[in-house]
Amino acid sequence: MADGQIAHRGKTPAHAPEGHPPIVQGKTGVLLVNLGTPDGTDYWSMRRYLSEFLSDRRVIELNPLLWQPILQGPILTFRPSKSGEAYKKIWMEEGSPLLVYTRRQADRLAARIGSENLLVDFAMTYGNPSIASKLERLHDEGCERIAVIALYPQYSATTSASVYDRSFRALGDMRWQPAIRTAAPFFDHPAYIEALAGSIQDHVAGLDFEPERVLMSYHGIPKAYLDKGDPYHCHCHKTTRLVAENLGWDTGFAMTTFQSRFGPTEWLQPYTDKTLEALPGEGVKKIAVVSPAFISDCLETLEEIAMEGRDTFLEAGGTHFSVVPCLNDSERAIDLLETLARRELAGWLS
């Protein structure tokens, strides 16, 4: 399916004034939303993407009068080239992995539950395809009700809230608004824990070594956001605990760490990179790393963990390192998305 195409289209025409296009209505939509991705690895594509992402007040809470000169000056002068080089290492033939896997998830979910009256599509918070464009398209296709599902298991204002902020901003430009539902986080949903635990178990069973620890590495946020009441830290620790209980791991075998910090301020700790440096010196030479905050593989899993993280661990004296793939478009992923979609659609569909 081409990017931007909605699965299982079908129109229900209604009477419209002469000279106006027919009104379509009566359908329901599901919109899966992930973080976003640049259109390419070149400097200007990266700059556009990073500018949009890092201008979000949910992501960077500094006053724009202070932040924008820094962002538009030194950061966006140098960071796009560095980020572009990182993206080149993981770029797929179809595009950015995050875009590719999210598209496949939407396609497979549409094949599973879609119909003439239930349309499934996807969007990105930053970059293309945008939330606004997909909400408009679903509405034009006749969707009177749309369930927007942010693909972040653990809630944070920096991620889930940004998805729903943009969804409601898009509604502000619509004269005839569809009804909107926003999905709750699923960090402790049994379907998510089962899918994550099963993927870890299968991966570890296929290794030629037995990990001495499993790192559950989550994307970090500034500690100040936790202090202001963001529940993300708690959600991450609960996910780790539930997975460990599901798999019968001993206390301490799974370690919760946080990656991808940016800037000079303190972020959630312990830091993944510092942990990878320290573990071999503590006698832990064999590890597996999981990224439970990501439904789909992306720059943070494929480059930061699988490449940079591996190098850090092995250079510090580790001997065995493996990364558990994200759920991506696996059968487990689609089972999970179906469960979440049906939860959000309850009462809308017979």
Same fold, 13-186+332-345 and 190-323: yes
The domain spans of the chain are 13-186+332-345, 190-323
Q: What pLDDT is recorded for position 350? A: 72
Query: Comparing 254 with 18, which gets the higher pLDDT?
Result: 254
Confirm if 288 and 211 have CB atoms less than 8 A apart.
yes
Quickly state the pLDDT bin for 23 (edges 50, 70, 90).
Answer: low
Structurally, what CATH architecture does the domain formed by 190-323 represent? 3-Layer(aba) Sandwich (3.40)
> pLDDT at residue 2 above 80?
no
Closest C-alpha among 178, 183, 136 to residue 28: 178
Confidence of residue 12 (pLDDT cuts 50, 70, 90): very low
- CA–CA separation, 248 and 29 (whole Å): 39
Q: Number of helices (H) and strands (E), helices first, in the chain?
A: 13, 10
Q: What is the mean pLDDT of residues 96-105?
A: 98
What's the rounded mean pLDDT across residues 6-26? 53
**Whole-number pLDDT of residue 326:** 98
CB 301 within 8 A of CB 294: yes
pLDDT computed for residue 22 by the predictor: 56
- Mean pLDDT along residues 106-126: 98
1 — pLDDT class (breaks 50, 70, 90): very low
Angle at 276 between CA 271 and CA 282, to 5 degrees: 115
**What average pLDDT does the chain have?**
94
Cα–Cα distance, 333 to 339 (Å, whole number)? 10
Gap between the Cα atoms of 104 and 247, Å rounded: 28
At the second CATH level, the architecture of 13-186+332-345 is 3-Layer(aba) Sandwich (3.40)
Structure tokens at 61: 């809470």
Q: Compute the average pLDDT of residues 187-207.
A: 98
- How far is Cα 295 from Cα 328, in angstroms, rounded to an integer? 6
Q: Chain-centre distance of CA 124, in angstroms?
A: 9
- At 202, list the tokens: 């299968």
Q: What 3-state class would DSSP assign to 244?
A: helix
